[in-house]
Structure 1
């Protein structure tokens, strides 16, 4: 029992956090079992004690994900205290054994850690590599798949959010381990791979071309675009190959990245040779942008190949500890956190109170109607009830479907055999499968949970059909109570908080934009502040997408201005992609000095973002941009580009077919920076206008 209760708290993180989490879960489970055990002797005493315990334990979730898993151990201990397990041992001894079981699990977990200390890092790294590879493969489809481009972009948004979460976990493991064990060769190489993965994501988010413009320019020359699509797909495939090699502990097979990049290079050359460059210069520059994007990605992927295959030690990574820890999202464990969240404005406070009330209702129903195994009702409530309505609704559906499927499978097996040894084996196997799948696929996990409970009870009670019947009924009752509780008891609708999430995302994008602007002026070594602002912009965009996703799962009556909010989410995502595109270009090219006209655009873009943020937070009035000033700046930027075009056309007329490297870069910069500035300005204006159209915010 102690092993089962504490296992969920063994989440990804540093060894120190793992030990503290499991010990806390073991202690909480034992203490909770002791308190509920003594309180259960009197029904009038049991009810208030259960309510207080459920609220207090659930409230621990204010300390983050690991704390919520520790709290889950306590909640499960409350539920299982009513399982009517026949034991002749004293209650205090029973509780100590539960805690001892948790410590036994910790000892096994630590033993495995010391036998294979790199397992968790390698597993996380492999997951990041594989997901990044899949991201690039989806990205490759954007070039040609016009009809599904909107769906593909939504899929990319979801994958970006998942990647950001993986990066957070891997960042903490690598940096905390670096602090404890120093900069070993292994740690240094894995940190280098992680840094390359972060850069690959930024490059992947960047839009090297305007897809609508590309569709128009290359509507007759799609075969050239297919080459670039195939190359990006191959790059993703190679990252997946690296992930598999890490998981299997084998050397990474040789790749043909250089051959594929050469195909892109030849495609640009072949296209340039068959057209009139003076008429289709924009076409060629667009292909050059695509090629530069793929070449940068290939360099980073080849670096990962070299590091993983030990072909090189990698560049030395010198970062001061004070700078490194800034990249870890801190978790505050002070008593002040409990105080600050002890109000109805806190979603966790409302969830804890809601869960306590629903558990008491479920307990009362079980006691009043003398339901057999009534604790199954409480088990269902605790497992599926979440702070927001959407996730509770989703888990309720998955739980019911999983329970019904499990019940049907169990009935079929019962009719085939009544062998108790088979029941025992199936119960153990199902329990193992349930725990391995509960984080990945809850519906399938619910199937195995149902099977394990039914077959374990089948060993104790011969009437298996009755066990299945009560299991299904109790699951329906618990699911109904959980759904109603989230709907009517202090519900936390996303519409109430979405404006703050949008404003935070806009502010993070603004800071990222300011860092790009500063770097464009100063160049040199990339500052830590740039990396931190980029990280924050990515994370806040993920938070916004997740909040919107939850909002779409809520009742229609609560989805205020859903269309406009979706537009804001999309605009913020597009703005971030445009920022990543500009930042990546400026970082990786020798650019000219930033002009005053560039600053005119920057100020007007910041003006729109600030106005939008104030409109969300303080209901400020809408302020338009200085149109005349922008027209003049745009005109001068266009003139600069046209001057370069004239010089290049004259070179062609004089017989110079190939442009100098510097001339090509100047043309590319003038066109790309000008287009990106105009794009960022248009997006920021649309964000501002959309904010002031909404009624819910």
Structure 2
């Protein structure tokens, strides 16, 4: 019964998340934007005008993604302007077959190349590509190109008006949704950490799961930064936004704490095997914190429903007793296991403080009780996109994946449209539509999209046939077309296969309202999708392929560099003490983002042909080493930031400088500034460390006024010493693997 209950619970949770998501609300908005102009057009006997305005709204919609309202509206307006210009040009392409193919290729290349400016620019680019493809359709009937140009502009402005209306009616919805999602993902991260504490054969799988959750969390953190920081800088001081910003800060700190790994698993395995109750209590505390975050997530918009939960306090008391019992049974003055348990517990207590702070902030304390972040400090955390013309010029070469993708897309659309005309396909532009939706800069993503699009189209076609055989009622077709369209757009980012299924259903039923030969429509839809998917896959395989391995060197360089800068900030703070500088948190953010990029690049590499997965085992080892290195940095920084520490010793600076130098050497190898073959002569890591720190922690109790101070110093020395030793070993190993890897 229990597994089935878990499945039902997960399904309900996923369904609730789906209906609360910004994807679903945007899909509803798009459904309204597309339906009303057509209804008004029918009523006024101006259906073609209504359809063209609908097309304008559709072309404006891709840029409506989560972020600040200013960035969102700017993106929609730019997308509308590009769609208008491209539609005007596309309206005249049919006049000459000789001009059609080269201009089609050039336009596809140029519009696609705009994606070089980042994610939002890629969505604007997609609007332009879609406008060009739809200019080949007959959706606007016998309308003049300039008339379509103006009506598409009106459609875009209509969508802007609806987006602004939604924002003013539900201004808090995106913030609440993404904060809730961040809480849930952080809860998942803590639960996985709890599972990792136990000795298990699936530890490698759990680490992979941990890395995937971290990548997803980092992406959502970026979205929340844009929503919260941009809204504060654009609209002045807001108590609501300020408090939500502070909750977000707690969640970012929680990720660092959750990443922190202050213990060696081999040591905890030995200890917990001898003391299974300690393992159960530490796991229980992590699971209790995870459950509490899920409860907060479910009640984020109504914190009054949050009831006191004694489980966290209960497990805290159990762990305190476990440590006391273990200490009383130990014969050594300073047992390393006691220090390890105390440090591990300290990290959990810091995590509990963060959860308590989030609950306190949610319960709307008075303004005077909280200290909001300064705008100037918060703006430093935004990732700024460079929109200079130089970016276009710098990437205009075959080393750029976006340049190669744009070139590939231009060639394949000419071939695709030519194939459609040659074989007298009913709607050749459907082939182009499939190409622009499926083709991605890398082979792995294109292959996955092709597969999902093909399967989704076949399922959609089969469902459409079944429904047509059951009923020929046009009212049913109209309702199903609208519902399918809304579901399709809400699923594009979540499940592309499901989205493709509902897009097919929507297209088929829209055509069913206009044409009687619905089975031919289904047949051609499936055939055009198969042609487009086949061409997309072949194009990525044969035309200037961009294999992930070609960009792995740059991605790895950025990751190592980000980790080094983060380490340098930690070293600087340990030496200077005082207030936590904002550049420390910026460095931490960049290290997390770089690690997520490396993880995503490795995942894409695994989707490529086996022959192109060169040194896959090495890249996996490098990715995991960098993740472990970042976890160790998080452990070190968390301890230094949250505990009163002694002045940084000369030995600390000596070893930490060696770690920084190892990372600099790894960067130099990747930049070809040091030949990979010439390895620096160096003593063994253990020898360097022991020559500096010695084999044991040695403290003199002379002059210490309190015994407690002595214990605190021992704890600090133990944790800092262990992390430094671990970081030194990993930095040396990273450098070694980079030398051995043939990029």
Q: TM-score by structure 1 length?
A: 0.94
Aligned to 1:641: 697
The one of 337, 358, 374 equivalent to 1:304 is: 358
Q: Is the contact made by 2:91 and 2:145 (CA closer than 8 Å) also made in structure 1?
A: yes
Q: Is the contact made by 1:261 and 1:295 (CA closer than 8 Å) also made in structure 2?
A: no
Aligned to 2:286: 232
1:80 is the counterpart of 2:134: yes
**Structure 1 residues 628 and 414: CA distance shift in structure 2, 3 A:** closer
Q: Deviations over 1:93-135 (max 9, x none)?
A: 2232122111101101101111222222222222222211221
CA distance in 1, matches of 2:246, 2:461: 49
Aligned to 2:713: 666
Aligned to 1:102: 156
Aligned to 1:386: 440
- 1:633 deviates by 5.2
Aligned to 1:498: 552
CA distance in 1, matches of 2:372, 2:142: 61
The count of corresponding residues between Structure 1 and Structure 2 is 686
Q: In terms of mean alpha carbon deviation, does 301-310 or 603-612 score higher?
A: 603-612
State the Cα RMSD in Å. Answer: 2.3
Partner-residue secondary structure (3-state), 1:491: coil
CA distance in 2, matches of 1:630, 1:334: 49
Q: In terms of mean alpha carbon deviation, does 118-127 or 445-454 score higher?
A: 118-127
- 1:317 deviates by 4.2
Q: Is the contact made by 1:508 and 1:540 (CA closer than 8 Å) also made in structure 2?
A: yes
Q: TM-score by structure 2 length?
A: 0.88
CA distance in 1, matches of 2:665, 2:688: 23
Q: Deviations over 1:131-164 (max 9, x none)?
A: 1122112221111152111111111111111111
Aligned to 2:222: 168
- 1:320 deviates by 5.1
CA distance in 2, matches of 1:636, 1:689: 22
Matches within 5 A, 1:418-457: 418-457=472-511
1:609 is the counterpart of 2:609: no
CA distance in 1, matches of 2:455, 2:391: 38
- 1:586 deviates by 0.8
Q: Deviations over 1:540-559 (max 9, x none)?
A: 11111111111221122222
1:45 is the counterpart of 2:92: no
1:362 is the counterpart of 2:416: yes
Q: Deviations over 1:259-291 (max 9, x none)?
A: 245334434345326622418822222221221
Q: Is the contact made by 2:685 and 2:729 (CA closer than 8 Å) also made in structure 1?
A: no
Structure 2 stretches lacking a partner, 5+ long: 1-54
The one of 461, 485, 502 equivalent to 1:407 is: 461
Q: Is the contact made by 2:456 and 2:499 (CA closer than 8 Å) also made in structure 1?
A: yes
Q: Is the contact made by 2:197 and 2:279 (CA closer than 8 Å) also made in structure 1?
A: yes
CA distance in 1, matches of 2:263, 2:615: 31
**Structure 1 residues 635 and 504: CA distance shift in structure 2, 3 A:** same
Aligned to 2:732: 685
1:180 is the counterpart of 2:227: no
**Structure 1 residues 263 and 407: CA distance shift in structure 2, 3 A:** farther
1:91 is the counterpart of 2:145: yes
- 1:643 deviates by 4.5
Q: In terms of mean alpha carbon deviation, does 46-55 or 468-477 score higher?
A: 46-55
- 1:182 deviates by 2.3
**Structure 1 residues 220 and 192: CA distance shift in structure 2, 3 A:** same
Partner-residue secondary structure (3-state), 2:560: helix
1:593 is the counterpart of 2:626: no
Partner-residue secondary structure (3-state), 1:594: coil
Q: Is the contact made by 2:438 and 2:446 (CA closer than 8 Å) also made in structure 1?
A: yes
Aligned to 2:592: 538
Q: Is the contact made by 1:26 and 1:100 (CA closer than 8 Å) also made in structure 2?
A: no
CA distance in 2, matches of 1:185, 1:661: 42
Partner-residue secondary structure (3-state), 2:78: helix
CA distance in 2, matches of 1:465, 1:296: 63
Partner-residue secondary structure (3-state), 2:268: helix
Structure 1 stretches lacking a partner, 5+ long: 649-658
CA distance in 2, matches of 1:633, 1:183: 50
